[in-house]
């Protein structure tokens, strides 16, 4: 309200504003009104500023003109023109005033004069398309009220406003979709076609925020169905025919719930069944319980009633299953107490008024109220006020009236004040910390849009060892990494020193760095320098390494030369020297032999002042080390005192942690390798090493000496031995990653081999931003395995490359050709011949050269290893191209179907990125991609690392049924004894001791006997039932003659018999 008494300058200003408003509202013609609008815009943009609309009464006069539209619509036209001009010229200054007048503006959509309607639409479109995202929530209530208006023209106008708002602020409107859908639903079925069409347009625009590829094609049908009840069944059928594989978020639920609710209360039981099935399928993919919270109370009582009252037992069962899935998806989110905002709108407005100059407080009241409303809307939605909110909702407005510097300072002061009030209100007395407590927090954790933990408690005490237990993919490693990287806001990283121990050692780009230098210079956590070298002398560092078993020789060895087990011990040594209060270990027993695992257990059990968080799938290790178990249960961490055995006693349903089998229906299925030419028995060698000797370049220690072994299709071999004994080296010589200095490695020319290395992640480390499906497509595009092509043993040295590209003068003088490359292969006279292109000879001179002649070239010195590499590369390429693998289509569906065989669902295989997968899921990716070529021999180096017990059980079952050979390295004796009767022991002296190989002879005899029996029974119809009479005599049935062999007379008799005629009636 304007002051009742005004004097001097103020009186002149009031008079001036009154005169201008008179022109705008009561002008005789449009030109007069437009002149007044221009004058008012100049006044507001000038020194008078916002006072022209607030303290001088401009807004009140405009509102009166809008409300008096029924008496004189000419007055309303002037007011609309004025607001349009003001908003275009000074949007930040007058936005609050315009927002306050919107309810009166919406009324003008019902004006009789077309010019007023047009001007109103132009103003509303301008406002809706130019407000900030934070302004969306304050705008919506006035729109909802307009949608309930008795006049259909006002409804239509409000729906258009909603459409414009959604066009400009799609994401912000999407966050409010849960409220928008019910508000617009009634308009979708409005009898006025204009309203229903506008509602469909507005809803379609608002629903563009839905990115779920499963639902997206059905959104138009769903929108039409909300407004047309007769379309419900047809749309439900489409939903039932949809395969849901992508996470379901709140916008998707918002658009689906209306028709699901309608179907649940439909009189037809079939519709209730369909609704239950759709709800069950959708709820399985709800990642965030809070997304389900608004809809659970709507769907749950209807599902519960159907589960109890429907006559059909089958439909009751479907409803019960859907109800259980719904409750699991909701968790306790629906019961979560959401407190009232810590500040009211008026309180926020008061705090904002306190930072503006006192002389301007009255004139800025509309601006203050508007900014406070936006801040309060964000506070109500998120229970916090981020600095970004004040930077958008307050700072630009204050800068317009106070200047850039003062406006920014005032905005920051306002945010600091509000943040203090909100933080103080959020504090509770709660739990009182004890002397042995390290942390007692409530937190949430998400990764890649998926909520892993929701309002979960974590209470850690000094000197305790906590085992983190849960299936692959629940977020165990993610939790520890978030703590180590200071990404968990609630965790007291500022007072606790933590370290995360994992297998992927950092700072290992330098292949020549020694063990001791790595410890000195490696970074720990977020330190910008090595705190270890600062707090420890070199003698202390050496002592720490020796305590973990490092000898003087190994301390100065390169990190690159260490085996997997020694790398883990190196990481543990660094953690010990870091003197952390909390040590987090991710699969610490991976790559470790039994003796070193025992040493690790003794070390951890001896820590009295250090708290440990442990992730491991080694049940014996957890049982002997853990003092407490933290178990993942419905996005919560539940603490159980005691070791793993005590945990299972308290929770018998988790007994599977001690069993090597799949208890939840998880099945792995290895593909059939198919026929291998010339291999008639499963015990015939398909790959072998004969008297091989190997030592790493630059070292004198011989890892393998005169080792001989072979693999066949029936092989089930476990290679065991201590760390560093040469197990991985042996299999790398067999698969071709290493080349022995002595001896021979032979593989069947058509052999397809899959190799999963000890550090399985290195297969995918350069493809982290691909999905698993995209990785498989890259790896096998072109019909070859790019991993095999990149093997070190197939790469040319500079000298070898020179021999394949540069003509040797001496060989040229002697008339001897040099092979440049091998282009193909054929079999002739029971011998392979290779098509060779020669150096400096055109392709017309290509020749097929027998294998023995190529061997002579190598033996004579014309060629060296490069020719053997070319032969091997061609053999492997043709083994792929001439097999069933070449027929496999690298389509998304085909690859995902293949990955399903290894328990990797489409959520992760097709739509996820490798970077976001857990360790166990990455192992499944590597396993699945390696098995794409349907190998005859599968070589696995430490395959049990990172896999949970369910997956290990599924893998063991798949190995038993696999028709190819298996060679695996593992320290998991439980797993190897389950699947491998043959053992290769690497004792560490360079030799190899083989035991249990005799089982293959028995297996081959059993296979041959079964094949012989099948041949004898070939053609025997086992399903024919033997018939006897009442005395037990066998009844012989006469064979029926085929119609083609019947005589004419017999056919006539048969025809009469079918008609029921007596054959002897005429005789």
Tell me if residue 274 falls in helix, strand or coil: helix
Q: Give the phi and the psi of residue 1021 in degrees, each rounded to 5.
A: -90, 95
The secondary structure of 165-219, three-state, reads HHHHCHHHHHHCHHHHHHHHHHHHCCCCHHHHHHHHHHHHHHHHHCCCCCCHHHH
Burial class for 1, CB neighbours closer than 10 Å (0-12, 13-18, 19+): exposed
What strand order describes the sheet that includes 611-615?
498-501, 582-586, 611-615, 465-469, 628-632, 637-641
Q: Give the phi and the psi of residue 915 in degrees, each rounded to 5.
A: -60, -35
pLDDT at 5: 41
Residue 140 has pLDDT above 90, yes or no: yes
What are 584-623's pLDDT values in tens digits? 988 888 767 777 788 888 888 888 888 999 988 788 888 8
Tokens, residue 99: 């927002």
Q: How many helices (H) and strands (E) does the chain have?
A: 46, 20
Tokens, residue 165: 């708002």
Torsion of CA 404, 406, 410, 411, to 10 degrees: 10
CA atoms of 15 and 10, how far apart (whole Å): 9
Least confident of 156-170, 415-429, 901-915: 415-429
CA atoms of 969 and 728, how far apart (whole Å): 7
**236 vs 918, more confident:** 236
DSSP letters for 508-529: ---TT-BHHHHHHH---TT-SS
Residues constituting the chain: 1067
CA atoms of 475 and 469, how far apart (whole Å): 10
The DSSP 8-state label assigned to residue 558 in this structure reads B
% residues pLDDT > 90 (the chain): 20
**88 vs 667, more confident:** 88
Angle (CA) 763 769 772, round 5°: 60
pLDDT at 7: 38
Tell me if residue 763 falls in helix, strand or coil: helix
Q: Report the pLDDT averaged over residues 847-861.
A: 86
Task: Write b or e for each residue in 283-300: b if 16 or more Cβ atoms lie within 10 A of its Cβ, otherwise e.
Answer: bebbbbbbbbbbbbeebe
Q: Report the pLDDT averaged over residues 314-332.
A: 85
Categorize the per-residue pLDDT at 2 as very low, low, confident or very high, splitting at 50, 70 and 90: very low
* 716 contacts 981 by C-beta, under 8 angstroms: yes
* Residue of 737, 679, 742 lying closest to 707 (CA atoms): 742
Alpha helices in 755-912 (DSSP H): 772-780, 786-789, 798-803, 809-813, 851-860, 865-881, 892-900, 906-909
Give the end-to-end CA distance of the chain in Å, rounded to a whole number: 125
**594 vs 121, more confident:** 121
Least confident of 28-37, 652-661, 793-802: 652-661
pLDDT at 139: 93
Residue 714 has pLDDT above 80, yes or no: yes
CA atoms of 780 and 356, how far apart (whole Å): 66
CA atoms of 974 and 393, how far apart (whole Å): 62
| Sign of the CA dihedral with 957 first, then 958, 964, and 967 last | negative
| Sign of the CA dihedral with 158 first, then 159, 165, and 168 last | negative
Q: Report the pLDDT averaged over residues 449-463.
A: 80
CA atoms of 925 and 901, how far apart (whole Å): 11
The secondary structure of 34-53, three-state, reads HHHHHHHHHHHHCCCHHHHC
CA atoms of 640 and 864, how far apart (whole Å): 64
pTM: 0.51
What average pLDDT does the chain have? 82
CA atoms of 152 and 195, how far apart (whole Å): 7
CA atoms of 394 and 414, how far apart (whole Å): 9
* Residue of 462, 448, 372, 443 lying closest to 411 (CA atoms): 372
* Residue of 242, 233, 196 lying closest to 215 (CA atoms): 242
Torsion of CA 290, 294, 299, 301, to 10 degrees: 100
**742 vs 506, more confident:** 742
Task: Write b or e for each residue in 353-390: b if 16 or more Cβ atoms lie within 10 A of its Cβ, otherwise e.
Answer: bebbeeebeebbbbbbbbbbbbbbbbbeeeeebeeebb
CA atoms of 962 and 734, how far apart (whole Å): 21
Residue 1055 has pLDDT above 70, yes or no: no
Q: Report the pLDDT averaged over residues 827-847.
A: 87
Q: Report the pLDDT averaged over residues 670-689.
A: 86
| Strand-strand pairing, 831-838 and 819-828 | antiparallel
Tokens, residue 975: 């797993």
Q: Report the pLDDT averaged over residues 793-801.
A: 79
The DSSP 8-state label assigned to residue 92 in this structure reads H
Helices 177-188 & 136-147 angle (0-180, nearest 10): 20
Categorize the per-residue pLDDT at 1 as very low, low, confident or very high, splitting at 50, 70 and 90: very low
DSSP letters for 393-445: HTHHHHHHHH-HHHHHHHHHHHHHHHHHHHHHHH----PPPPTTEEEEEEEEE
Burial class for 313, CB neighbours closer than 10 Å (0-12, 13-18, 19+): exposed
Burial class for 158, CB neighbours closer than 10 Å (0-12, 13-18, 19+): buried
Q: Which residue has the tokens 């820590």?
A: 607
Residue 232 has pLDDT above 70, yes or no: yes
| Sign of the CA dihedral with 505 first, then 506, 509, and 513 last | negative
pLDDT at 456: 81
* 630 contacts 439 by C-beta, under 8 angstroms: no
pLDDT at 333: 64
Residue 939 has pLDDT above 50, yes or no: yes
* 318 contacts 277 by C-beta, under 8 angstroms: yes
């Amino acid at each position: 309200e304007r002051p009742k008494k005004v004097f001097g300058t103020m009186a002149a200003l009031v008079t001036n504003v009154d005169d201008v408003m008179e022109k705008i509202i009561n002008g005789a013609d449009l030109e007069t009104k437009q002149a007044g609008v221009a004058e008012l815009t100049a006044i507001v943009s000038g020194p008078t500023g916002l006072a022209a609309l607030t303290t001088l009464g401009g807004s009140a006069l405009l509102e009166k003109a809008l409300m008096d539209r029924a008496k004189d619509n000419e007055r309303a036209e002037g007011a609309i023109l004025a607001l349009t001009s003001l908003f275009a010229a000074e949007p930040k200054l007058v936005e609050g005033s315009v927002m306050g007048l919107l309810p009166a503006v919406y009324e003008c959509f019902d004006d009789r004069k077309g010019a007023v309607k047009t001007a109103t639409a132009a103003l509303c479109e301008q406002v809706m398309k130019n407000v900030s995202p934070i302004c969306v929530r304050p705008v919506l209530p006035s729109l909802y009220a307009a949608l309930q208006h008795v006049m259909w023209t006002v409804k239509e106008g409000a729906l258009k406003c909603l459409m414009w708002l959604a066009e400009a602020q799609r994401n912000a409107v999407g966050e409010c979709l849960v409220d928008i859908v019910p508000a617009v639903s009634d308009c979708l079925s409005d009898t006025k076609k204009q309203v229903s069409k506008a509602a469909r347009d507005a809803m379609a625009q608002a629903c563009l925020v839905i990115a779920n590829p499963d639902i997206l094609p059905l959104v138009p049908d769903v929108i039409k169905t909300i407004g047309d009840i007769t379309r419900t069944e047809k749309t439900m059928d489409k939903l039932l025919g949809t395969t849901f594989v992508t996470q379901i978020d709140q916008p998707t639920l918002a658009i689906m719930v209306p028709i699901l609710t309608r179907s649940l209360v439909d009189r037809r039981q079939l519709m209730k069944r369909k609704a239950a099935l759709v709800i069950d399928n959708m709820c399985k993919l709800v990642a965030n319980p809070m997304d389900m919270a608004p809809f659970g109370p709507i769907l749950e009582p209807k599902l519960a009633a159907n589960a109890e009252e429907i006559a059909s037992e089958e439909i009751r069962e479907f409803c019960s299953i859907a109800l259980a899935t719904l409750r699991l998806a909701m968790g306790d989110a629906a019961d979560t107490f959401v407190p009232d905002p810590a500040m009211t709108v008026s309180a926020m407005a008061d705090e904002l008024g306190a930072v503006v100059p006192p002389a301007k407080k009255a004139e800025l009241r509309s601006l203050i109220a508007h900014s406070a409303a936006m801040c309060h809307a964000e506070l109500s939605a998120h229970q916090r006020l981020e600095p970004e909110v004040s930077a958008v909702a307050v700072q630009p407005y204050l800068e317009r009236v106070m200047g850039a510097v003062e406006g920014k300072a005032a905005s920051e002061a306002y945010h600091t004040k509000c943040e203090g009030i909100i933080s103080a209100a959020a504090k509770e007395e709660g739990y009182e910390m004890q002397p042995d407590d390290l942390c007692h927090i409530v937190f949430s954790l998400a990764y890649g849009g998926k909520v892993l933990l929701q309002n979960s408690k974590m209470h850690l005490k000094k000197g305790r060892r906590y085992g983190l237990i849960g299936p692959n993919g629940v977020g165990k490693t993610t939790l520890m990494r978030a703590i180590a990287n200071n990404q968990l806001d609630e965790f007291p990283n500022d007072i606790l020193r933590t370290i995360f121990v994992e297998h992927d050692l950092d700072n290992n780009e330098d292949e020549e760095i020694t063990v001791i230098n790595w410890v000195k210079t490696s970074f720990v956590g977020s330190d910008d320098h090595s705190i270890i070298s600062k707090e420890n002398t070199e003698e202390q560092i050496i002592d720490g390494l020796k305590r973990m078993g490092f000898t003087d020789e190994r301390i100065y060895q390169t990190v690159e030369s260490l085996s997997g087990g020694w790398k883990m011990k190196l990481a543990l040594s660094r953690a010990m020297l870091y003197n952390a209060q909390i040590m987090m270990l991710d699969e610490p027993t991976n790559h470790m032999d039994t003796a070193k695992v025992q040493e690790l257990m003794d070390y951890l059990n001896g820590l009295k002042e250090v708290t440990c968080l442990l992730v491991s799938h080694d049940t014996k290790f957890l049982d002997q080390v853990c003092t407490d178990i933290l178990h993942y249960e419905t996005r919560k961490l539940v603490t159980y005192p005691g070791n793993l055995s005590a945990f299972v006693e308290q929770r018998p349903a988790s007994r599977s942690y001690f069993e090597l089998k799949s208890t939840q229906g998880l099945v792995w299925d290895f593909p059939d390798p198919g026929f291998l030419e010339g291999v008639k028995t499963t015990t015939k060698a398909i790959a072998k090493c004969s008297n091989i000797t190997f030592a790493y370049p630059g070292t004198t220690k011989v890892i393998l000496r005169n080792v001989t072994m072979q693999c066949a299709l029936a092989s089930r071999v476990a290679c065991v031995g201590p760390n560093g004994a040469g197990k991985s080296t042996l299999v790398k010589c067999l698969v071709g990653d290493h080349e022995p200095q002595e001896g021979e490695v032979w593989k069947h020319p058509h052999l397809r081999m899959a190799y999963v290395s000890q550090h399985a992640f290195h297969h995918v480390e350069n493809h982290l931003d691909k999905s698993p499906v995209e990785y498989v497509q890259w790896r096998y595009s072109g019909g070859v395995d790019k991993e095999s092509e990149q093997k070190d043993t197939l790469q040319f040295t500079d000298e070898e490359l020179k021999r394949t590209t540069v003509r040797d003068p001496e060989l040229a003088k002697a008339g001897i050709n040099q092979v440049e490359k091998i282009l193909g292969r054929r079999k002739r006279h029971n011998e392979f011949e290779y098509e060779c292109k020669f150096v400096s000879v055109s392709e017309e001179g290509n020749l097929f050269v027998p294998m023995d002649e190529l061997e002579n070239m190598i033996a004579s010195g014309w060629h060296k290893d490069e020719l053997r590499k070319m032969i091997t590369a061609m053999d492997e390429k043709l083994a792929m191209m001439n097999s069933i693998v070449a027929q496999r289509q690298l389509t998304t569906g085909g690859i995902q179907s293949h990955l399903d065989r290894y328990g990797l669902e489409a959520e992760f295989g097709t739509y996820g990125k490798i970077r976001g997968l857990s360790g166990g899921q990455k192992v499944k990716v590597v396993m699945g991609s390696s098995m794409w070529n349907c190998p005859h021999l599968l070589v696995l180096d430490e395959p049990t690392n990172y896999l949970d017990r369910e997956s290990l059980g599924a893998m063991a079952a798949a190995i038993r049924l696999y028709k190819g050979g298996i060679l695996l390295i593992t320290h998991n004796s439980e797993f190897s004894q389950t699947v491998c009767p043959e053992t290769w022991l690497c004792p560490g002296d360079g030799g190899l001791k083989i035991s249990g190989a005799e089982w293959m002879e028995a297996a081959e005899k059993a296979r041959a006997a079964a094949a012989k029996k099948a041949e004898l029974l070939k053609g025997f119809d086992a399903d024919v039932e033997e018939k006897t009479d009442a005395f037990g005599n066998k009844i012989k049935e006469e064979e029926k003659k085929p119609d083609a062999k019947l005589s004419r007379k017999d056919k006539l008799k048969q025809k009469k018999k079918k008609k029921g005629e007596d054959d002897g009636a005429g005789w």
